[in-house]
């Protein structure tokens, strides 16, 4: 990636946060936030594509004065992902573990708008999971909201969906 894009993409400067060893999703995010100068930072999972409306995400984040806003997607079988629960006002209220129930539910789409100082009020190890060690543990103590989208979503974390994505994205999506 670094060799291909160098230090700029379409006039946007690129900085790279290099992990000498894997830090987990939380450790990687925490390390990369050290390079950020804006108050709010967009975080995207690298193994999913979700065509969500980022301006809607920004509007919810701003309106709710949220410390973290995540985009959710309703799916017919949330068992593979686990369910995300939220209040009628959109405030995050819980997570249900992955299961084989086959029930529909709202899943974490892997898109977040977060305050760059979100980890500064707690002590975290160098290596940790953003989902398990942060979101699931602290959702009730941090101002977190959701933004629901029904846009196209694919997670390439399993071979069948990876093959499906290769077929659906045969064209060069970086223009």
pLDDT at 103: 86
- Measured CA to CA, the distance from residue 19 to residue 63 in angstroms comes to 34
Asked if the model's pLDDT at residue 175 lies above 80, the reply is no
Length of the chain: 175
- Name which residue leads in pLDDT, 173 or 155: 155
Which residues, other chains included, contact 26 with Cβ-Cβ below 8 Å and sequence gap of 6+? 124, 127, 128, 129, 130, 131, 133, 134
pLDDT at 11: 95
pLDDT at 42: 97
Where residue 93 falls (left for φ over 0; alpha for ψ -120 to 50; beta otherwise) is alpha
pLDDT at 106: 96
Burial 24-39, CB ≥16 within 10 A → b, else e: bbbbbbbebbeeeeee
- Name which residue leads in pLDDT, 150 or 165: 150
What is the CA angle 18-21-23, rounded to 5?
85
pLDDT, tens digit, 9 for 90 and up, residues 112-149:
999 999 998 888 999 999 999 999 999 999 999 999 99
Quick one: tokens of 17?
Answer: 């946060």
pLDDT, tens digit, 9 for 90 and up, residues 50-66:
999 999 999 999 999 99
**Summary mean pLDDT of the chain:** 91
pTM score above 0.75: yes
pLDDT, tens digit, 9 for 90 and up, residues 5-18:
999 999 999 999 99
Judge contact between 50 and 71, C-beta under 8 A. yes
């Amino acid at each position: 990636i670094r060799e291909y894009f160098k230090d700029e993409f379409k006039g946007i400067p690129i900085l790279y946060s290099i992990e000498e060893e894997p830090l987990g999703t939380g450790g990687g995010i925490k390390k990369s936030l050290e390079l950020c100068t804006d108050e709010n930072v967009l975080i995207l999972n690298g193994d999913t594509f979700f065509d969500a409306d980022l301006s809607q995400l920004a509007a919810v984040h701003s309106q709710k004065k949220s410390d973290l806003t995540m985009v959710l997607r309703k799916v017919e079988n949330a068992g593979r992902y686990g369910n995300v629960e939220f209040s009628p006002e959109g405030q995050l209220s819980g997570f249900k573990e992955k299961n084989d129930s086959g029930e529909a539910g709202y899943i974490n789409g892997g898109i977040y708008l977060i305050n760059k100082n979100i980890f500064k009020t707690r002590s975290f190890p160098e290596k940790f999971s953003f989902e398990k060690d942060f979101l699931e543990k602290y959702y009730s103590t941090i101002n977190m909201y959701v933004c629901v989208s029904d846009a196209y979503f694919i997670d390439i974390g399993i071979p069948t969906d990876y093959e499906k994505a290769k077929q659906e994205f045969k064209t060069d999506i970086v223009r």
